[in-house]
A and B are shown apart, each in its own frame.
Chain A
Amino acid sequence: MPINDAQKDYMQRVFGMGTPTDTPSGTAPANPAFVKAWREAVASWRDASDVVDGQITALQSVLKGSGDSELEDIAEFGLNAVTGGFKVPLMAILQELNPSAPEPRMLGRAKSIVAGFRGHLNTDERVLGCDENPFGVTMSVRATLGAALGSLDAAIQLAAG
C-alpha cells in the first residue's frame, strides 16, 4: 500500500523525519543482523588491533636495544609498514560507516579495504618476518588481524545479502 500525503505529513510533523521512501539518499534500510554483526566485528577489530600494537611495541623495544643499526632502522621506519597503509583508511571507514543506514558506496569502500588488507597480510614478507621473528617476541599479526578482518568481511556480506 503506497503511503499517502496525510501519512507523510504525520511522519514529518510527529517525528520530524521523512517516510521510508524518503530515507537518506543512497542508504539502505536498517538490517538488524548486519547492525549486530558489524558492531561485534568492529569491537573484535579494535581488540585485535590493540593486541598487535602491543606486540609491535615489544618487538620495537627489542630491536631498538639491539645495537644493530639495521635492526634499529627497522624498528624506527619498518615496523609501521607491517600494516601496509591499510590500518588508517580502515579506522576511518569504521568511524564513518553508520550500520543503521549504511551507504552502498561506503560498504564498497570497506569491502575493498578489508580485501586489500587481508591480501597484504597473506603476502607481505614483513608480516611473516614479524610473526616468525627470532628475537623471542611472541607475535601473531597475520592470525590476529586476519581473524578480525574475516569478521568484518562476514558482516559486510550480511549487508550485501
Chain B
Amino acid sequence: MSGRLATIDPAEIEKFKQRFAAGRAKQIEDANTEATRLQAAAVLLQEQVTALEKTATIARKNWKDKEGLRLRKAKPGNPSDPELLLKTQSETADSKLATAREALAQAETDRDKALKLADKLPREAYTEKFKALNARLKDTGVEMATLDATAVAEIKGMLDLRNYDGVDARLLAIENKVLDTVAGRDLPIKHAALTARMATLGTQTVKDPQAIRGLNTTLEGIDPEAPTGTNLGRLEREIEPAVAALEQRIQVVLDLIQPLDGAIKVLERSGTDAAPHRVELGKCVNIAKLKPEDARIRLVDLTKAVKQTQQDRTDQAAAELTYPGELAALEQRIADFPDLSPSHKSRGGALVNKTKGPLKNAKEAAAERNFVAACNLIGVADDEIDTLDEAADAQEEQKALALSAQQALLAKQLKDAAAKKAKDAKDKAEKDAADLALAQLNTAKAALTLASLDLIGKDSDFETWMDKVRALRTASMLTVATAGGAYWLNGRTTVEIEVDVTGVTDTSFKDYFVVHYHPTAVYDQIGSQVHSKPYTGNMTTPKDRRMNNTGHWLFGTVPTLKNIDDHPP
C-alpha cells in the first residue's frame, strides 16, 4: 500500500469498497429483474398474437365465403352489408395483429437487451479469470479447451443460464487442473519468492514474530521438490495472500514511523519541547517489533499529537511577532490611567513589567486576557481595572471639551477643506476611470474577436451588432446560417427565419437572430418587407431595415429581396 493510503483509516477504505460492491450487486439484480419482467411481457404478447392470429384467420375465412354472403347481402355499399362488415372485421383483426406483432418484436428486443446487460457484468469478470488462467498455460503446450473441454463447455452453458454458482465450481475445477499442469514450473519459483519475502519480513524493524513464525512453518511444510497442484494451490490461495496482508500491515506502520521521526526532528531543531513525542515514538517502535497493529493505533494518535504541536509552534511564532506591538499598546493603556490613587500609580510600572512575561509566552495573541491576568498578579481586581479604564476615557473627554471655540472652528475649516480636496480628487479619479473604461470598451468592441460581439447590446444596438456579425463573418471567425425552418407567425402576415451565428474555431460560441418577411408591407418610416431583428419580438422590437436594399450581405444566406418582391398577391 502506498504511503498516501497508510494514513487513511482502513475502516473508511473498507466502507468505500463495500459501497462499490453493493452498487454492482444492485446493478446486476436490477438487470435480472428487468429481464424477467420483459420476458413475462414478451410471453403475454406472444399469447395475444396467437389469439389475434386465430381471430384474423376466422375473419378472413368468413369474408372469403362470398357465396354464402351473397345470399344474405343487402344493398351494396350499405354499412350493414354483411360482406362489408366481415371485410372490415377481417381488416381490423389484421391491423390489430400487425400492431401486436410490432409490440412483441419491441418487447423481445427490449428483453434481449436487458438479458444482454444482465449477462454482461458477470461475463466480464469471468472473462478476466479465463484470460488469467489461459495466460498461466502459456508455454505449457496445453490449452484450456483440451485441459477440461467438458467444464469449459458447461461454463458456457451455465453462463447462458446465469448459473453463477455452477460456473464458480467449474472454474475452481479448471483452475486446479491448471495448477496441476504448471506446478512443475511455477511451484519452485513461487516457493523461493515467498521464502525470500518472509526473510525480508524477518529483517524489518517492524515485525510480527508470531505471524512470521506461523507463516514460515506453513511454508516449510510445502516441499518445493514435490510440485503438485495441491501444493501450488496452497501457496497461492493460502500463504501468498497471508504474506501480502502481513507485508501490508508492516508497511502501514513503517509509513507512519518515518514521517513522524522527521516531524519530531524538525520540532527539536526549532527548540520546541518535543521530548514527550520522542519518548512515545520510541515506545511505538518497540511495540512495533512485536505487535504492529497495536503500534499502528498509537502511531495514528501520535501523528495527531505532533500535528497539534506543530500548530502550537506556528501560533507561538505568530504571537512573538505581534508581541512588541501589544506590549506598547499595554504600556500606553496604563499610561492613560488617571492619577486616582498613589497606590495605583506606583503599581503602574510593576504592572507593565509583570505583564511582559505572560504576554511574551502566550500561545495566542490575547492581549486583553493577559493584561487582566497581569493586573490580577499585582493585586488589581477585575472591577478596579474597569474603573481605571472608565476614568481614562472620561479624562480624554474633558480634554476634548476644553478645546477653545476658535480651535474648533479652525479644525472644522481645515476638515472641510480637506474633505473638498478629497472629493475633487475622487471625482477626477472616477471621471478618469470612467473615460478609461469607455475607451477600453470601445477598443474591445472594435476588436475583431468573438468576445467583442457580446460587448455590443444585441437588443439595444442591433444594427451595430449586425455590423459586427458581418465583420466577424468576413474575417472567417464565425458562420451565419439559417437554423432550418421558416414559419408563418400568428396572424399570417409575417414569415420568420431563424439564423444561427456560430464561432468557427470556438464552436461553443452561439447566438441567433431572426429575419422577418412581410409580403404585404410597404417600405416607409417604420415598415419594410424584410428586416432582421434580435428575436421574434413585436412591433417595438429593434430592427435592422437595411436588408431592404438589394445586394445586402445576408442574401447570401437567406432568400433575396428580389424573391420577396415576387410574392403572391
User: What is the interface of chain A, defined by CB distance below 8 A to chain B?
Assistant: 1, 3, 6-7, 9-11, 14-15, 17, 19-20, 23, 29-30, 32, 39, 43, 62, 65-68, 70-71, 74, 77-78, 81, 84-85, 98, 100-101, 124-129, 133-136
Contacts and interface: CB of A to CB of B under 8 A. Distances in A.
Given A17-B485, A23-B485, A134 B24 contact: no
A125 B485 contact: no
Interface of B: 1-2, 4-5, 8-9, 12-13, 15-17, 19-20, 22-24, 26-27, 117, 124, 248, 483-488, 492, 495, 497-498, 508, 510, 519, 535-536, 559, 563-564, 566-569
Given A3-B492, A43-B508, A135-B8, 18 more contacts: A1-B492, A7-B568, A14-B564, A15-B495, A20-B488, A23-B485, A30-B485, A30-B498, A66-B1, A66-B2, A78-B20, A81-B23, A98-B484, A100-B498, A101-B485, A128-B19, A129-B16, A136-B4
A31 to B, nearest CB: 10
A19 B13 contact: no
Contacts of A65: 2, 4
A134 B9 contact: yes
Contacts of A19: 488
The majority secondary structure among interface residues of chain B is mixed
Contacts of B566: 14
A67 B245 CA distance: 12
Nearest to B567: A10
Nearest to A99: B483
A46 B510 CA distance: 15
Contacts of A39: 510
B457 to A, nearest CB: 17
A4 to B, nearest CB: 9
A100 B484 contact: yes
B568 A81 contact: no
Of the listed residues A6, A67, A128, the one surrounded by the most CB atoms of chain B closer than 10 A to its CB is: A67
Nearest to B12: A134
Nearest to A16: B559
Nearest to A62: B4
B23 A129 contact: yes
A65 B3 CA distance: 10
A85 to B, nearest CB: 8
Given A32-B535, A43-B508, A77 B484 contact: no
A81 to B, nearest CB: 7
Contacts of B564: 14
A30 B512 CA distance: 13
29 contacts: A6-B568, A6-B569, A7-B492, A9-B568, A10-B519, A11-B486, A11-B495, A14-B559, A14-B566, A17-B486, A19-B488, A23-B487, A66-B2, A66-B5, A68-B1, A68-B13, A71-B17, A77-B124, A81-B27, A100-B483, A101-B484, A124-B26, A126-B19, A126-B23, A127-B23, A129-B15, A129-B19, A134-B13, A134-B16
Contacts of B2: 65-67
B19 A125 contact: yes
Given A14-B563, A15-B559, A126-B23, A71 B13 contact: yes
A70 to B, nearest CB: 5
Contacts of B498: 30, 100
Nearest to B17: A70
B536 A129 contact: no
A140 B488 CA distance: 46
Nearest to A79: B20
Contact of A68 (B5, B26, B519): B5
Nearest to A1: B492
B492 A125 contact: no
A6 B492 CA distance: 14
A124 B8 CA distance: 24
Contacts of A128: 19
Contact of A78 (B4, B24, B483): B24
Nearest to A100: B483
Contact of A125 (B5, B22, B484): B22
Contacts of B495: 11, 15
Contact of A14 (B4, B8, B492, B567): B567
A32 B13 CA distance: 50
Contacts of A125: 19-20, 22-23, 26
A1 B324 CA distance: 90
A119 B508 CA distance: 29
B386 to A, nearest CB: 49
A43 B568 CA distance: 42
